[in-house]
Amino acid sequence: MIENNVKKETLYLYLIQVSNFLIPLLTFPYLAAKLGVESFGKIGFATTLFFLFTFIVDFGFILSGAKSISLNKESNDISDVIYTNIQFSKTIIFTLLLVISSVIIFFIDINKLDFYIIFFCLLFSFTSILTPAYLFNGLGKNSVLAAVTVIVRLLFVIPIFFLVDDAGDIWYAIFLQLLPYVIIGLLIQSIIRKNRIINFKFSLINKEIAIKESRESFENFIASFFTLGFTYLTPLVVKGVFGDYALGLYTLIERLISALRQMYVPINQSFFSKVCVIYEYEDKREYVAYIKLIFKIFISIGFLVILLNNLIGEYILGYLFPKYEIFNLLNLAIITQLFISIASILVNFVIIPSGNSKFLKYIYMLASIIYIPLIFTLILCFEFLGVFLSMLIIEIFILILLFSVAYFKVYGNFKGGFDND
């Protein structure tokens, strides 16, 4: 039976995610119109780098750290040890990333604007440490983090309309995209300390524990790292091959798909820690009930969005973005996102809870090896359309491999549960 607190957490998170959907709709149509396609592409370049760098600093702790916290949240002492050593590990990773990347960019032949974008995105990646999402995920208190995020982002909407008027205001636009994450991080740290949610203590830093936590997260990090070819590497390829104009089109599509992606976030966040615990204690019937419910919700969302886009999408896009011809490409991206959402069910609720994370890195490694020549081949054949075709093909390939792991490595353990339901 699905617990009431999980239902409430999910409902609350959906209300927050609706806000996350509406806030970008208030700003990025304005930014796209005022900055123009090429400068809007610079926004995409900056946000891609920022999320890439924060992803590296996070190092996969968003999942492994959440699992460790969820399994030990009844013990404050153990939770403090886990939190302290994960935060310590992330600080070391950030320092190494900052030093190594700073040295590299000094020797790269790029224009001045791109140079400063890269450097500032590196600095802002420290927000991954300030905002320990894995902690709130593990404690089942994602609504706290989500509420702070929405409030801060709302406060930064108004300055955009006052400070950004044309392509010359690109720096205002970039900083107004990144600065909220700093404010969010500072507020989250204040909430953690004021409410004594958990404690960071230098005395608890332990080399062996830090290495142990990092090793567990490394499996998830490597697996996720190879997905960069589909999330972070792709816009860099678009910029390198087609330039900032094409990147502007890609960025707009990605922003719209990101809004769709927000619809899946509450389910992943609110159910993750609960499913981990259920699997750990081998409650077959309840585990199967959760998986079936999540699958039905994800599929329903995907098909509903595809239907709405084909019915009214072209008219809405024409009204909001008259200079951007993206309807057909957006349709392809929505279908791709449906496959990604199904894959996320297998990863977050089947493969990781069952302790089969080690297979993820091999799946994504193989997919990345195939994806790199695939995207360039399809670009040669179909030009810009080839980018979106390559993403669709590779996501279907990944989903097939994930189903194979789920079937052969997990299904057997819960066969009775599946057969009885």
pLDDT at 173: 93
Coil/strand/helix, residue 306: helix
Mean pLDDT in residue range 101-129 = 90
Mean pLDDT in residue range 374-386 = 95
Residue 243 neighbours by CB distance under 10 Å? 12
The mean predicted confidence, pLDDT, of the chain is 84
Residue 421 within any structural domain of the chain: no
- Grade residue 357 by pLDDT with cuts at 50, 70 and 90: confident
pLDDT tens profile 64-112 = 888 888 888 877 888 888 999 999 999 999 999 999 998 888 888 888 8
Question: How much is the pTM?
Answer: 0.77
Instruction: Tell me how many degrees the CA angle 333-300-320 measures, rounded to the nearest 5.
Output: 45
Q: Where are the alpha helices (DSSP H) in 106-243?
A: 112-124, 127-130, 133-139, 142-155, 157-163, 170-194, 207-225, 228-231, 233-242
Residue 287 within any structural domain of the chain: yes
Distance CA 305, CA 112 (A): 40
Q: Name the burial class of residue 299, with classes exposed (0-12), middle (13-18) and buried (19+) by CB atoms within 10 angstroms of its CB.
A: middle
The residue with tokens 């996070």 is 58
Residue 353 within any structural domain of the chain: yes
Residue 286 neighbours by CB under 8 Å, 6+ apart: 1, 278
Residue 418 within any structural domain of the chain: no
pLDDT at 88: 94
Q: Name the burial class of residue 19, with classes exposed (0-12), middle (13-18) and buried (19+) by CB atoms within 10 angstroms of its CB.
A: middle
- Could you tell me the sign of the dihedral formed by the alpha carbons of 218, 222, 223, 229, in that order? positive
The residue with tokens 């994602």 is 142
Distance CA 238, CA 236 (A): 5
- Could you tell me the sign of the dihedral formed by the alpha carbons of 17, 21, 26, 31, in that order? positive
Residue 419 within any structural domain of the chain: no
pLDDT tens profile 171-180 = 999 999 899 9
Query: The domain containing residue 385 runs over which residues?
Result: 4-413
Residue 373 within any structural domain of the chain: yes
Asked if residue 137 lies in contact with residue 85, where contact means CB atoms within 8 angstroms, the answer is no
Residue 42 within any structural domain of the chain: yes
Residue 35 neighbours by CB distance under 10 Å? 23
**pLDDT exceeds cutoff 80 at 263:** no
Residue 31 within any structural domain of the chain: yes
The residue with tokens 């995610």 is 17
pLDDT tens profile 16-37 = 666 666 777 778 888 988 888 8
Nearest CA among 190, 202, 315, 337 for reference residue 256: 337
- How many separate domains does the chain show? 1
Mean pLDDT in residue range 56-61 = 90
Distance CA 216, CA 220 (A): 8
Torsion angle (degrees, nearest 10) of CA 136, 140, 143, 146? 40
pLDDT tens profile 146-203 = 888 888 988 999 999 999 999 889 999 999 989 999 999 999 999 999 998 898 988 8
Token pair of 53 as six digits: 């760098």
Alpha-carbon distance values, 22 to 146, 154, 265, 376, 385 (Å): 14, 10, 15, 35, 28
Alpha-carbon distance values, 369 to 133, 249, 364 (Å): 30, 26, 8
Backbone angles phi, psi at 357, to 5 degrees: -60, -25
